[in-house]
Amino acid sequence: MSSRLPEFVDPWHSAALKKQFSGHVELADLTRLASMLESVEGDAEFELRFERDDKRRSRIKGFVKSTMTLECQRCLESMQLAVDAILNLGVIEVPEEAERLPEDVEPVQVEEGLVRLLDLVEEELILAIPQVPMHEPNECRAEVSHADEAPPAEQQESVTEQAENPFAVLAGLKTKTDSEN
């Protein structure tokens, strides 16, 4: 992290001055993110530009880039996730303000008039992690289930017959009971 990078900034004042902050941060320094990673080696590069939109709302634009090491949930081996996220944030004070933002703008709620720059970077990286991280099927060492493939033809016929008459078994039992009486 750059020694000149402030920890907290006033987003409205920064937008009025069109401030820009950029740098690198070690993944190990992002504690919430670090707990989700298999390895905290590496860093994230970022750029945050504060500006005002045509309605005088404070906005934060920029990018976050990193390569993170996660555990594949299919084979439990290490996998690399490259992140190249574009930020397009609208600064809000109360949740109701989010409704007035354009659809392509994500809200960032600011409490006590300040925003922590590295929290913005960390949030973007956390959001980039899939709910279930996995290698691509052709890159994974685990055997990939082909559940989406069609079953063999003889299994399809059997399934079709059962689906056509789910009460066929009951009808057979009734016939058997009637013949015994």
Contact predicate 9/19, CB 8 Å: yes
Q: Are residues 20 and 69 in the same domain?
A: yes
Q: With 0.85 as the threshold, say if the pTM is over it.
A: no
pLDDT at 158 over 60: no
Compute the average pLDDT of residues 55-60.
93
Q: Are residues 123 and 155 in the same domain?
A: no
Residues spanned by the domain of 88: 8-128
Domain total in the chain = 2
For residue 18, give the nearest of 59, 47, 64 by alpha carbon.
59
Q: Are residues 124 and 164 in the same domain?
A: no
**C-alpha distance from residue 92 to each of 1, 17, 66, 179 (Å):** 26, 18, 27, 77
Instruction: Determine the pLDDT at residue 123.
Output: 95
Contacts of 88 (CB under 8 A, 6+ apart): 59, 61, 104, 105, 106
Residue 19, both tokens: 């401030």
Q: Are residues 101 and 179 in the same domain?
A: no
More confident residue, 158 or 22: 22
CB-based burial of residue 124 (10 Å sphere; 0-12 exposed, 13-18 middle, 19+ buried)?
buried
Compute the average pLDDT of residues 83-111.
92
The answer to whether position 137 is within a domain reads no
